Amino acid sequence: MNIIVLIADSLRQDHVSFYGWPDCPLETPNLDRLAAESVAFDNCYPQGLPTIPVRTEWLTGCGTLPFRPWQPLAEEDVSAPELLGREGYFTALFTDCYHYFKPTMNLHRGFRVWRWIRGQEYDCWQSGPLRNLRLEDHINDRMPAEWIPRVQACLRNLDGFKTADDWYCSRLTAEAIDWLKVNPNDGRTFLWVDSFDPHEPWMPPKEFDRYVHPDYTGKRYVMPPGGPASNWFTDEEMAAIRGLYAGEVAYVDHYLGRLLGALRDGGYFDNSVILFIADHGHPLADHGKFLKGGDRMYSELLKVPCMIRFPGGEHGGQRLDALAQFPDILPTLLDAAGLGANLGEMTGRSLMPLIRGEVQAIRQATISGFHEAPDRCVRDRRWSYIRRPEGEPDELYDLIADPRETVDLIDGHPEEAQRLASYFGSAYALHGTAVEGLQGKYEIADSAVRGKD
């Protein structure tokens, strides 16, 4: 059985129309079709965030939150391509997530074939002055001065794009499709296609740029800084940024549809287990801030689409609300492929008993957070408890009655917070001093406000 992993970075669950969020701004027909033929999970959560800790969980089947920051694979790790290579699989990786191929990283280890698409985010791909895009159209004088060179770096990479086929996800899926055409579908392929979109910068090709209000005539902020969004943008500007993100999602759905079509045409839907998943969502100032961050432990960051299609559509049409975490993904894929003897040392748990209807749950709660940040989020199917650092109030939300987490119920239901807190011990707490600048690594925010990640 082939094992195929498809990833979209920073894709919020509420932007995939299959999931039925009432205010989903767009249709995603290709992902919806895949979901309808798959087992779709409502509550599959990351443990350790963000990009690299998540991929480490997927590649190793082991959690990262308590003990692993953003780092390369360790010498003693056994990653999925290494393991599957020993089982006789041909392993291939296609990605435009530039964190894989930075000089200090090694997440491609074990793949027989790997191909990089250059230019995403701050990848130093292009240089020289802008010729088609203008920096002043994408910044304002309220932004932190440190943020401007980052925006400029992103624009340099996008400056020469003319048609949608020039954009990253198009080039990525084209590479994967070309590879599929010349390699046999022998049931022993492990294919990993990892799209960095719809991660920022959000500059969708013009045919997908249809979600910004037509009356908006302001600047296009393709790279909003973190921190309190009201420091940098008006409400109208924030709405336009959200529209740009929706356009990115539409463009990603389109090109993933091309890849899925190639898999169908090549017979892979008959003899492959196919996973589609996102590493996390993306805050769009839902709770006041753009970008990822250790203090943004809400569904806009944590809720992702997750669907597994089995050969011939077996088990398809199920939508499960049972809890799962990202370390469970690799054990599930191996179990589905008849390789369950490899699961013994993984901390993740196979979801196949859930999928086959043999059990109702494998987890009572999930925990999520950034290794270097003090905040932790513990969830079950109804409640979300956010444990804040000392001196800040904890939070509790009813995810069923209030999926957007607008009403904090911690004072009325302290027993639920205590119950959720009891599932995870001190091993999951941050030890030492929280690292500021966690996301820039990833973002720059108001230095007077906590959560500068």
- pLDDT tens track for 186-237: 999 999 999 999 999 999 999 999 999 999 999 999 999 998 999 999 999 9
pTM of the model: 0.95
Q: If you average pLDDT over every residue of the chain, what do you get? A: 94
End-to-end Cα, the chain, rounded Å: 41
CA distance 163 to 18: 28
pLDDT (mean) for 3-14: 98
Residue 60 has pLDDT above 70, yes or no: yes
Output the CA–CA distances (angstroms, integers) from residue 347 to 104, 112, 188, 411, in the order listed.
Answer: 26, 26, 25, 34
Q: Exposed, middle or buried by CB within 10 Å (0-12, 13-18, 19+), for 89?
A: buried
CA distance 407 to 173: 41
SS3 55: helix
115 strand-pairing partners: 94
| Class of the domain covering 2-357 | alpha beta
In this prediction, residue 345 carries a pLDDT of 86
270, two tokens: 């008959």
Among 239, 307, 280, CA closest to 25: 239
Cβ neighbours for 36, distance < 8 A, ≥ 6 positions apart: 18, 316, 317
Determine contact, residues 279/9, Cβ cutoff 8 Å. Answer: yes
In this prediction, residue 443 carries a pLDDT of 42
Among 277, 337, 349, CA closest to 311: 337
3-state helix, strand, coil in the chain (%, to 5): 30, 15, 55
238, two tokens: 């924030």
Residue 8 has pLDDT above 90, yes or no: yes
Say what the alpha-carbon torsion angle 407, 412, 415, 416 is, to the nearest 10 degrees.
-20
CA angle 274, 192, 39 (to 5 degrees): 20
CA distance 321 to 307: 12
In this prediction, residue 434 carries a pLDDT of 55
